[in-house]
Amino acid sequence: MSEWISVEDKLPKSSNDVIVFTETDEIEIGNYVFSKWLTSSYGKVLYWMPLPVKPNKKSRTTQNTCEFCTH
């Protein structure tokens, strides 16, 4: 996974979802659009990193968490 990037050093491409770390110690998905951060929290965004690459469909596994269900 990528390292955290300070918003003082570099900003993400506009309209791309990224992982953000805020001054309120929250990690969430954010988006930088029209020189503003869009996040679900009120904390100022301090760092960001690109989202990881999605897994290959063949490598995905299903998990059955129901103790009474059988395959």
pLDDT in tens, 1-59: 579 999 999 999 988 999 999 999 999 999 999 999 999 988 899 999 999 988 887 75
Q: What is the pLDDT of residue 60?
A: 56
Residue 61 has pLDDT above 70, yes or no: no
Measured at the CA of 25, the angle between CA 1 and CA 55, to 5 degrees, comes to 25
pTM above 0.75, yes or no: no
C-alpha 18/C-alpha 32 separation (Å) is: 8
Q: What is the pLDDT of residue 17?
A: 94
Q: Are 30 and 18 contacting, i.e. CB atoms less than 8 angstroms apart?
A: yes
Q: What is the pLDDT of residue 71?
A: 53
Q: Are 36 and 29 contacting, i.e. CB atoms less than 8 angstroms apart?
A: no
C-alpha 27/C-alpha 7 separation (Å) is: 14
Enumerate the domain spans of the chain.
Answer: 5-52
C-alpha 31/C-alpha 33 separation (Å) is: 6
Q: What is the pLDDT of residue 66?
A: 63
